[in-house]
Amino acid sequence: MEEKIDIAPWTEKYRPKNLDEIIGQADIVSSLKSFAKQKNMPHLLFAGPPGCGKTTATLALANELYKDARGECLLEMNASDERGIDVVRGKIKDFARSVSLASVPFKIIFLDEADSLTSDAQSALRRTMEMYVSNTRFILGANYSSKVIEPIQSRCSVFRFTMLSKEEMRNMVERVCKGEGLSVDDKAMDALIYVSEGDMRKLINAMQGAALRGKKITEENVFKYSSRARPKEILEMMQLAIDGKFREARKNLHSLMVNYGLSGEDVLIQMYREIDNVKIEERAKADLIDKIGEYNFRVVEGANEIIQLEACLAQLYVLGKGEEKK
């Protein structure tokens, strides 16, 4: 008999199945455990950056409450796909008005990316949340809670998720390594944490991509798969421009974009992350942040990436010359 192969992506394979398995967000998990124990909860608004555990916390809570009946008692929707008022009046309302047959007296509607709902849909949703509160609870996930209208926020208990710490990321790397039989050296570990930027989903995807080349995950494979340059390469390029070696800095820029397939915005974001390590005065660093912000705006608005990045390097060159005069 052939062994069954698990083809699920690692982000799903290692998603915590219950609240005790969740890494990080200790205060929020503690509150959710209390809700599960009491089998009662208010409407909830989960706000925070991507990949910090909002969806995972919702599914783990539903598992604790409903066990095998989760499929019948949880309606999971992505509001960025279904964002109009017709969805609220139709699919959501139909599910909300039906009675729960599980031991828990209410069902859950999870609206991920609720900040993408149109203002009309949000206005219709607030009335639905009131009318069917006796047998339905809403959990809204949002990257930006400010985009959720105030009347909905006032009907929810707001939980603010934070980016995961380096230590929490290390714990997840060790968990995946144990499950997949991988080895990760210290440099590769630092690389995984660097490219993930506190996003657990990004971390696990980077690991799965790097593991395609072998059971030993290396720093080079992590950066190659994640389309990120090594921090020292970005810093070297910036320092060359500041030191007056503009032609060499420009050559390094072109090499980075070819070797790693970086977009203009990727390069600018990595430049921003290296500002603290650049050897210039604090005032010049403040000017540099201002310039990077300006060129990032231009790139996002559709300007030519190469021209804007070279212009940004030219600004570093000018800043370096200004430092020399002092």
Model confidence pLDDT, tens digit, residues 245-272: 999 999 999 988 887 788 889 899 999 9
pLDDT in tens, 84-97: 566 666 677 777 77
Among 188, 203, 226, identify where a domain stops: 226
- Residue 313 sits in a domain of what CATH number? 1.20.272.10
Within 8 A by CB and 6+ apart from 195, the residues are: 202, 203, 206, 222, 223, 226, 228
Structure tokens at 113: 């990316």
Which pLDDT belongs to residue 294? 94
Residues 136 and 241 both lie in one domain:
no
pLDDT category of residue 14 using cuts at 50, 70 and 90: confident
Q: Which residues pair with 46 in a beta bridge?
A: 141, 159
Cα→Cα distances 112→6, 78, 80, 191, 264, Å: 26, 5, 8, 30, 30
Torsion angle (degrees, nearest 10) of CA 131, 137, 143, 146: 40
Terminal alpha carbon distance of the chain: 77
Q: Which residues pair with 45 in a beta bridge?
A: 140, 158
Question: Would you say residue 1 has pLDDT above 50?
Answer: no
Residues 39 and 106 both lie in one domain:
yes
In degrees, rounded to 5, the angle at the alpha carbon of residue 279 between the alpha carbons of residues 320 and 163 is 120
Cα separation, 279 vs 243, whole angstroms: 9
pLDDT category of residue 325 using cuts at 50, 70 and 90: low
Percent of the chain scoring above 90 in pLDDT: 33
Percent of the chain scoring above 70 in pLDDT: 92
Average pLDDT for 286-290: 92
- Residue 180 sits in a domain of what CATH number? 1.10.8.60
Which pLDDT belongs to residue 326? 56
Sign of CA dihedral 133, 138, 144, 148: negative
Which pLDDT belongs to residue 251? 92
252 is a domain residue: yes
Cα separation, 276 vs 274, whole angstroms: 6
Residue ranges making up the domain that contains 207: 166-226
Q: Which residues pair with 28 in a beta bridge?
A: none
Number of domains, the chain: 3
Residues 30 and 53 both lie in one domain:
yes
Question: Would you say residue 44 has pLDDT above 90?
Answer: yes
Question: Would you say residue 27 has pLDDT above 80?
Answer: yes
H or E segment at 160?
Answer: strand 156-160
Question: Would you say residue 226 has pLDDT above 70?
Answer: yes
pLDDT in tens, 188-214: 999 999 998 888 989 999 898 888 888
2 is a domain residue: no
Highest mean pLDDT among 37-46, 79-88, 208-217: 37-46
